[in-house]
Structure 1
Amino acid sequence: MIRKITAALACAAFIAAACVQSETAEAPATSEEESAPVNPMNEYGMTASNVFLYYADVEAATTFYTRTLGFAVAADYGFAKILRVGPSSFITLVDEEMGMHSASDPKTVAIALITDQLDEWWDYMKDQDVEMRFPYNPVEGRPHHGFVAIDPEGYLLEFERFNVHAENEMLIPVLNETETIYPAEGASDVPPGLGFKATVVWFYYKDMPAIQAFYEDVMGFELIVDQGWTKIYRISPSGYMGLVDETRGMHNFTEKKAVTMSFWTDRIDDWYAYVSNHGSFEMRSEKVEETDRYRAFVAYDPEGYYLEWNVFKDAPDNETLHRMLRGEE
C-alpha cells in the first residue's frame, strides 16, 4: 500500500435507573461500568470525520488545497481552515502558532484521497509543481492503485482507487453509493470531472493487535478492509481511519505527531462521559470545552495520537459547513 487546534479551539485541538425496591429484596445498583454502552459508535455515532494538519504558512497551504486540489472552504476561522474532501470527510489546516502541535513535529500520518478518476488525477498532478513520493504505477490484479504526493510542508497525500477485489468486498458497495464531491466551476485549477468521494486517515503503530483491540472493542469501530498489516474502519459516511504497522508503512512510529484525528458527533456529552470514565483513555481535556463556534474535548489513544470530538454550533462562521453537512451544497 502506497501510502497549537488550539488554544482557541477549546483547550483541545478544536478546542473539543433508580433502584427498584420490593418487600423481599432490593435490586443491586448498576455500576457505571456495567451501564456503559457495549458499542459507543452504535449508541452515539459520528456525523463526519476530520483530520487537523499543522502549518508554518497556513495561507500557502490553503492555496494549495483549494487551487491545486479543488477543496472547498467549509469554514474559515482565520488561524484554521476547514476544507471538505468528501460528503462527510474534512481536512482542517491549522496555524501552528495557534494549534496543539508544531509544524516541525513529525508528520506521522498520511491521507488517502479516494477517487474514481485516478488516471485523470495522475495526468493532472504530474504536471503540477508538486513533489511525488511514489509515482503512479498500476499493476493489474492489485486490490488498490495509487500514487503519493507531498503537500507544501511535507504531509503525504495518497491518491487512491480501491478496485473490485476480494479484499474490498465490503468496501466497494459502500464506495459505489458514496457521492463524489467536485470543485465548483472556476474555483480551482482542477480539470472538470475530477473529484474525491472519501478519505482514509492512516496512523502508524508499534503494537497492531493492541491498537486494533482498542479501536474495535473500546471505540466500537467495525473493520471494513483487512489488508493484513493495515486495518481500515468506516467512521463516518465518507470518512475512514486506517491503522498501519509502522514496520511496513510509509512512516515509522514517533512519539510526537503533527496531527489530530477529529470525530464530529451530535452526542458529544455522551461521548465525553464514556471516554472520560473509561480506563483506556488518557484525557487532555477536563471537560467539554465551549466557544461561540463549537464544543470539543480531546483524549489520547494508546500510542499517543490526539483524538478530538467536536460539535459545531449554529454560528455565522459555520453556515457553509452546516449546509454541507445537510447535503445542501
Structure 2
Amino acid sequence: MNKRPPIEQQVTFLHARDLVETAVFYENILGLELVLDQGICHIYASGGDAYLGFCQTLGQHMDAPPATNHIMLTLVTPDVDGWHDYLVGQGVTIEKPPTLNEKFNIYQCFVRDPNGYLIEIQTFLDPAWPKTVRHSEIGD
C-alpha cells in the first residue's frame, strides 16, 4: 500500500465576476493580504496555510477543465507526481495528468471528487509563493 504524500497548504479558487471589485472587498474591507497576483487570479492569505483565490472568468482562461459551479479546490504539495501515483493506485480517474502550466508557473494535475468538483493538486514554482510553516517550527 502506498503512503499518502503530504498536503502542506490549501487554496480554494472561486469565480470573480469583477476582479477589481473583489480585490477592494477582500483587501480593503476584510483586510486579507494579497500573496500572489497572477493577473486574472488574485490569491489571498485567509489564515494559517489556507488561501482564497479569485479568478476572472474561471474556466475560460485557465488551462483546466471547467469546474462544477465554478468551484475548484486546490491542494498544494511539493510532490504532484507522488499524489498522481497515489490517486491512480486508489483507482481515482485522472482528469489531467501532471503538467507544467507555464502561464501560472505551476506544476499541476486534476481529478474530480464524487460530486463532480474539480480538484487541482499543484506545486507553485513562483518564488513569490509563501512557503509553508510547519507546526514544529512554531512550537506546536
TM-score class normalised by the smaller sequence = 0.7 to 0.9
Q: Are 1:98 and 2:61 an aligned pair?
A: yes
Alignment check: 8 A CA contact 2:49 2:133 kept: no
Distance (Å, rounded) in 2 between the aligned partners of 1:69 and 1:101:
28
Segments of 5+ residues of structure 1 without an aligned counterpart are: 1-34, 103-255
Partner of 2:15: 54
Say whether residues 1:283 and 2:90 are aligned partners.
Answer: no
The aligned counterpart of 1:303 is 115
Aligned residues: 128
TM-superposed CA distance for 1:93, in Å, is 0.4
Identify the residue that residue 88 of structure 1 maps to in structure 2: 49
1:77 aligns with 2:77: no
SS, match of residue 257 in structure 1: helix
Secondary structure in 1 matching 2:81: helix
Aligned amino acid, residue 2 of structure 2: A
Residues 83 and 92 of structure 1 are in contact (CA less than 8 Å); yes or no, is this contact kept in structure 2? yes
2:33 corresponds to 1:36: no
Aligned to 1:258: 70
SS at match of 1:304: coil
CA deviation profile, 1:156-179 (whole Å, cap 9, x unmatched):
xxxxxxxxxxxxxxxxxxxxxxxx
Instruction: Tell me how far apart the structure 1 counterparts of residues 90 and 133 of structure 2 sit (CA, whole Å).
Output: 32
Identity of aligned residues (%): 17
**SS class of match (2:69):** coil
| Segments of 4+ moved more than 3 angstroms | 99-102, 324-327
Distance 1:98 1:59 in 2: 17
Deviations 1:280-323 (CA, angstroms, capped at 9, x unpaired)? x23210x211134211111001111111111111x3xx42x22x
Preserved CA contact (<8 Å) 1:54 1:101? no
Structure 1 residues 101 and 94, CA gap change in structure 2 (3 angstroms): farther
Q: Considering only aligned residues, what root-mean-square deviation do their CA atoms show, in Å?
A: 2.0
Deviations 1:213-265 (A, max 9, x none): xxxxxxxxxxxxxxxxxxxxxxxxxxxxxxxxxxxxxxxxxxx3221111111
SS, match of residue 53 in structure 2? strand
Q: Deviations over 1:131-183 (max 9, x none)?
A: xxxxxxxxxxxxxxxxxxxxxxxxxxxxxxxxxxxxxxxxxxxxxxxxxxxxx
Aligned mates of 2:21, 2:61 — CA distance in 1? 16
**CA distance in 2: counterparts of 1:325 and 1:79, whole angstroms:** 24
Letter in 1 for 2:61: M
Structure 1 residues 71 and 45, CA gap change in structure 2 (3 angstroms): same
Question: TM-score, normalization: structure 2?
Answer: 0.81
Greater gyration radius: 1
TM-score, normalised to structure 1's length? 0.36
Write the letter of the residue equivalent to 2:94. M
